[in-house]
Structure 1
Amino acid sequence: MSTAKSSAKQRSPLWRRLLGWLGLAVLGLLIVGLAGFLIAYAVVDIPDPNEDFQAEASFVYYADGRSELGSFAVQDRQLVLLDEVPDHMQQAVIAAEDRTFYANAGIDVKGIVRAAYNNVVGESTQGASTITQQYVKILYLTQDQTYSRKAREGILALKVQREVSKDEILQGYLNTIYFGRGAYGAQAAAAAYFDKDIGEVTVPEAALLATVLNSPGTLDPREGKGAAADALVRYRYVLDGMVETGALSAPQADRFSRRLPKTVAPSQDDELGGPDGFLMAMARAELRTNGFSDADVDAGGLQITTTFSRKAMTAAKQAVRAQKLGRLKQLHIALASVEPGSGKVRAVYGGADYVRSDFNWALAGGQPGSSFKPFALLAALRDGISLTDTFDGNSPYVIEGTGEDVENQGDSGGGSFGFVPLLYATVESINTAYVDLTLSMDNGGQKVIGAAELAGIPKSATNKLAPVPVVALGYAPVPTIDMANAYATFAAGGRRADWHVLETVVDADGETVYTAEDTATRTFSAEIASDVSYALQQVVERGTGTNASTVRCPVAGKTGTATGAQGEVSSSWFVGYTPTLSTAVMYVRGDGNEQLENYLPTFYGGEFPARTFAAYMQGALQDTKCVDFPAPAFVTGTIAPPTSTVTVPTTTTTTTEPPTTTTTEPPTTDPPNPNPPGSQEPSSDGPGGGGGG
């Protein structure tokens, strides 16, 4: 016992020395920090806000970097005195942004410590801004989330606090802060959200205006159900803050918290009218995704270069007008065009007029029908199946164990084709053969879905698909732009890239602050891609897609006609590409599920969609050099050039044979008949609808 006590006494001087050294180190750091702060406080001057604070419009350009597509709004601001702003509006902003505003020294020490801790442990770089700090940042500083900017912000806030009264700071803040919808300041915000003067806003309206300050745009209830739900959470936080600061009683806050006050619809700038408005909206959405706030976009003086081609957009508008279907008011035509290998979106036609309806059909899409079959073709080639292997093309085809049957239907009434090579099944879009193909592969349905993802169909679309035998018939909706991008992967020889609409962003100082990344990656071999392209070229040359053959350059593509749950034709597609441009065209009616049959003069994908595709590609590729497709590799077999004719059965007998392939047989030297009598565009029902030709 005495020995242990003696050892402890011997160790204690060392511990005391360590504690002493630590204390000296901390004291030294405090002295250095204080000295640094005093020096910084002495040398940092308050700039003249009238010289430094200037909002600038952001301009959006086509891909050439010179042709202007449009501009995002300059500041919409109307200055008001603090006395003109209702007290409940002032208190709502204080509750939302800085509940100790009238008591603090211009900075929030607790908030700074909390933000610093979160940043050190790996959370995103956070601010801890009081109203004074936010006002200083707006007037004198940039929007950068850096420690140096935050330090200067804090020093300036302390200086401003000593020289300007709290009421003056609040008045300046309420006249400069961004509320979304292009509105800067409370007066402009009241007009933008409620079509009234700031002096007329009610308590709930004031609380909602304070709500959107946290994230203008994403907390605007008019931005959709998700935004409205998020806004309600923040709105209740603001009301709770007003109770905390004594601006409201708890019963009042409880009554107001039940629902958001109604807002007016956002006004649309005239330049957003017509199809180009969809391009501007897509550019803004991608800017948000890449960290640019609405304030940056609407007042940051940005120079935004997009991927959109002016020539391609002109061609898209002309191609739609050329169909002369404007009298069909319920008809929606969507077009999306993507550059293979880069993912650059060259053209989007999302609707006739963005101001009239901002629903973008190129982003929404519909059931692709048989235009989904190339992903099953890709899956088959990756699984060792060749273009010469044969599959059951009889109709109806009964899926064993389910009792479900699939039929070939089309222009000439459908029919049976017997056992046909995969190439011929693709050229004539034979539903039953593609169901047989899917069943012939182990986990065939899942392989088709996986192949679609490899090509570029996002999981948000494939998650709606079940790995069923009819998955290749395109029964679940896919965005038009994703179909164009997936076919672009075929055109790029198996290299997939994420589609995007932004190229570069340059700030007001001339610095490039954003450049699109190269996202291209190989997802399947160039040899397999060349075989897919070969098969789809035959579709255009002598199959269901011959209306697309008028393009002066070599074209590969696929038709698609889908039926809804009631067996009615609900969408009509053509998706195709040259080696340099991939394009998807979709026709739908009403909400996207209404019947096209007996509404359009002809409703198959090989008709209006293929014609629209051809008209667009002619214009978009004008004055460009045509590029040939690579020769097919025939990775699992060989096929002679299509020159001869074979007899195809036309009986309607249903086969009872199991799904088969002929991979053990040597490849034929005679090609499948490329253009038999009675070529047609089949369609069939799948879960919740189906697809065909």
Structure 2
Amino acid sequence: MAKGQRQAKTRGKKTKNILNYPRSGVHGWTRFLPSIRLLVVGGLSIVILLCVLFSIGYATTDVPEPNQEATGQTSTIYYNDGKTPIGQYKVEDRKSIRIDEISEPMQKAAVAAEDTSFYENRGISIKGLSRAVVGVATNQYAGGGSTITQQYVKNFYLTNEHSFDRKVKEMFISLKIDQQQSKDDILANYLNTIYLGRRSYGIEVASQNYFDKSAKDLDVSESALLAAMIQRPGAADPSDNPEVYQDRFDYVVKSMVDEGFITEEQAAKIEMPKVEKQNKESSLSGQKGYMWDFVRREALRKLDITEAQLDRGGYNITTTFDEDRMKQAEKAIKNLPSDQPEGLQTGLVSIDPDNGGIEAFYGGKNYLDQAFNASTQSHVQAGSTFKPFALVAGLENGVRLTDTYPGTSPTTLNNDGTPWELSNFGNTSYGPVTLLKATQSSINTAYAALNVQVGPDKTVDVAQRAGLSGNCTDKEMESGDTGGCSIGLTPNPSNVLGTPSVKPIDMASAYATFAANGVHHDTHSIEKVTQGADDTEVYKGETKGKRVFDKAVGAETSFALQQVINGGSGSYAQQLGRPAAGKTGTTNNNTAAWFSGYTPNLATSVVL
């Protein structure tokens, strides 16, 4: 065959159609109908493409870090029994618990209400997911259809955004979570993240708020109601309008029967449970607010954490506060004479000398009315309660309680070449007195002479070693930030008469050092801090203490201060019926009155 003929023959042939579309050999419009081969190939191609896309999506979607909001847990502070709560630090009220701390009826009610295939599915529901995707695409998504795992993923890792992208991420993460966590863990995590009204995040807080019991004690009817509230937690408060949840409650109970969780006979006896009324009284009223604020400041400092970390950290803080002694302190202040000057600020602090723990204080009438704490933030001239610091300074420098000093009033002393004239209270004149008598009767002239003898700087040194804060700097005075310092604690001869202004908590700390025979313990209100469901200890208060003056000096100091109780200005304290020591004090013009005293197991300072 000639070359030209071969080329012509080749050009005359039609290229073969691999998919046979439009179909060859078929005439009319039917040639455009797909052949079986085309349908098979097309279907397989779509399946392969979807598998590839699914594999890529699964491989490239990582489980993200949990939401800060979802992981945040309420921190709770307790009295020293570790059980009785004082208050909470929180952004959202949440407390996570383990699955064995959630009652079986509650677990079953949640499954019956939200995902009956929970124990069989692999984290997603194809039917529910398809409905959600269509709803998002048509902007008609009304929620629902998600598995418990998907709801947990949305609450814990994602957001409530209604978008196709978020829904796809939710699917892939749910599949991975189902592989990584057990069903019990997923259910517990889900129940720990749901919102149930009354600012309650998680089943434990909701159980406490609605039924005043732990989640492990929820019965079937209580569980059914909480499960019924999951979809619409803010629709109403069930204590006021239980009928709002009646239909959903009935549905949950029926679903529990259908799933074999309870029998029809049991279901017939289940009624809407009684719900506790919401307690709207502020948890910060009265003294609790002062404790809440003081512990918060200490926790931030000692744990070295931010406020956000404290509010979301799920810490369990056991304080040194004794509930009975707090009540007794408040009662004692309330029983003061009714003719008190207007605006009187009363402070009281009691400290355990063995460890420095604050067992009680009185911050004011009501924290909500005045947040300023009269016991830990106010400064009051110390008056004669300052004299024991000069006593210790003298004993450390060779002075004895039998040494004599001038008790005549008025008396003129030589202060570095400058005459210094002073008088006793009421201008009472005693003549020469021993240091012991000067302590018992709080004789100004004798103690001024002692202070000049040993040096005012040594008196200041003893005061700070015993527990008083250092003197405020000029910068602190100018800024008004005097919460961590004393005012006027300077080495001048008149300091022994109580011219420095100190905080009641510092004075109580100093007298606790006397009670501990010269061992000073850092004043604190936090005994220990644990975190998480397992109560892992993350902090323990320092209670070791440091010896700041000799035992013999401590014993002589206490002996002298006992005479104040036995026959001096503090004799009222004999009503304790046990050995006690202490010192009274008044300020210029009687604007404030002090008593600081102690027994072997408690030191207390009161000022009014």
- The two structures have a TM-score, normalised by structure 2, of 0.55
Q: Is the 8 A contact 1:334 1:361 kept in 2?
A: yes
CA distance in 1, matches of 2:597, 2:405: 25
1:246-645 aligned at under 5 Å gives the runs: 270-290=282-302, 291-325=304-338, 328-363=341-376, 364-400=378-414, 401-409=417-425, 413-441=426-454, 444-460=455-471, 461=485, 464-509=488-533, 510-563=535-588, 568-587=589-608
Q: Is the 8 A contact 1:365 1:586 kept in 2?
A: no
CA distance in 2, matches of 1:500, 1:355: 23
> How far off is 1:55 after superposition?
3.1
Given the alignment, which residue of 78, 89, 95 partners 1:72?
Answer: 89
CA distance in 2, matches of 1:43, 1:577: 68
> How far off is 1:365 after superposition?
3.2
SS class of match (1:404): strand
> How far off is 1:310 after superposition?
0.7
1:405 maps to amino acid: E
SS class of match (1:331): coil
CA distance in 1, matches of 2:342, 2:453: 44
Q: 1:48 to 1:560 in 2, by over 3 A?
A: closer
Tell me the alpha carbon deviations over residues 387-444 of structure 1, each in whole angstroms, 9 at most, x when there is no partner: 00000111112232334321112xxx33211110000000000000000111222xx1
> How far off is 1:44 after superposition?
9.3
> How far off is 1:377 after superposition?
0.4
Q: Is the 8 A contact 1:59 1:303 kept in 2?
A: yes
Q: 1:51 to 1:439 in 2, by over 3 A?
A: closer
> How far off is 1:68 after superposition?
1.3
SS class of match (1:432): helix
SS class of match (2:468): coil
SS class of match (1:277): helix
- Please, what is the CA RMSD of the aligned residues? 3.2
Tell me the alpha carbon deviations over residues 335-383 of structure 1, each in whole angstroms, 9 at most, x when there is no partner: 0011103110101101111110111111123011000000000000000
> How far off is 1:299 after superposition?
2.5
> How far off is 1:139 after superposition?
6.2
Of 46-55 and 448-457, deviating more is 46-55
2:405 maps to amino acid: F
> How far off is 1:520 after superposition?
0.3
CA distance in 2, matches of 1:324, 1:52: 50
Q: 1:462 to 1:383 in 2, by over 3 A?
A: farther
- The two structures have a TM-score, normalised by structure 1, of 0.49
Q: Is the 8 A contact 1:392 1:420 kept in 2?
A: yes
Gaps of 5+ in 2: 1-57, 95-152, 159-164, 171-198, 202-279, 472-484
> How far off is 1:455 after superposition?
1.0
CA distance in 2, matches of 1:42, 1:309: 56
Q: Is the 8 A contact 2:456 2:492 kept in 1?
A: yes
Q: 1:73 to 1:269 in 2, by over 3 A?
A: farther
Q: Is the 8 A contact 2:318 2:528 kept in 1?
A: yes
> How far off is 1:332 after superposition?
1.4
Q: 1:487 to 1:50 in 2, by over 3 A?
A: closer
Q: Is the 8 A contact 2:74 2:314 kept in 1?
A: yes
Q: Is the 8 A contact 1:52 1:140 kept in 2?
A: no
> How far off is 1:67 after superposition?
1.3
SS class of match (2:604): strand
Q: Is the 8 A contact 2:379 2:486 kept in 1?
A: no
> How far off is 1:483 after superposition?
0.5
SS class of match (2:345): strand
SS class of match (1:356): coil
Q: Is the 8 A contact 2:487 2:501 kept in 1?
A: no
Q: Is the 8 A contact 1:341 1:489 kept in 2?
A: no
SS class of match (1:560): strand
2:538 maps to amino acid: V
Which residue of the partner structure matches residue 151 of structure 1?
none
Residue identity over aligned pairs, in percent, reads: 39
Q: 1:46 to 1:371 in 2, by over 3 A?
A: same
Q: 1:74 to 1:379 in 2, by over 3 A?
A: same
> How far off is 1:459 after superposition?
1.3
SS class of match (1:399): strand
Q: 1:45 to 1:325 in 2, by over 3 A?
A: farther
> How far off is 1:47 after superposition?
4.8
Gaps of 5+ in 1: 1-40, 78-135, 142-158, 165-181, 185-267, 588-693
Q: Is the 8 A contact 1:74 1:299 kept in 2?
A: yes
Tell me the alpha carbon deviations over residues 186-225 of structure 1, each in whole angstroms, 9 at most, x when there is no partner: xxxxxxxxxxxxxxxxxxxxxxxxxxxxxxxxxxxxxxxx
Which residue of the partner structure matches residue 147 of structure 1?
none
Q: Is the 8 A contact 1:337 1:582 kept in 2?
A: yes
CA distance in 2, matches of 1:44, 1:305: 42
1:423 maps to amino acid: L
SS class of match (2:334): helix
1:502 maps to amino acid: I
CA distance in 1, matches of 2:294, 2:89: 13
1:287 maps to amino acid: A
Q: 1:354 to 1:51 in 2, by over 3 A?
A: closer
SS class of match (1:585): strand
> How far off is 1:74 after superposition?
4.1
Q: 1:51 to 1:288 in 2, by over 3 A?
A: closer
> How far off is 1:328 after superposition?
4.5
1:571 maps to amino acid: A
Q: 1:325 to 1:276 in 2, by over 3 A?
A: farther
SS class of match (1:362): coil
CA distance in 2, matches of 1:581, 1:467: 30
CA distance in 1, matches of 2:330, 2:339: 12
2:525 maps to amino acid: V
Q: Is the 8 A contact 1:376 1:438 kept in 2?
A: yes
The higher radius of gyration belongs to 2
Q: Is the 8 A contact 2:423 2:445 kept in 1?
A: yes
Q: Is the 8 A contact 1:336 1:347 kept in 2?
A: yes
2:87 maps to amino acid: G
SS class of match (1:271): coil
Which residue of the partner structure matches residue 143 of structure 2?
none
CA distance in 2, matches of 1:548, 1:519: 30
SS class of match (2:418): coil
Q: Is the 8 A contact 2:67 2:157 kept in 1?
A: no
SS class of match (2:562): helix
1:468 maps to amino acid: N
1:283 maps to amino acid: V
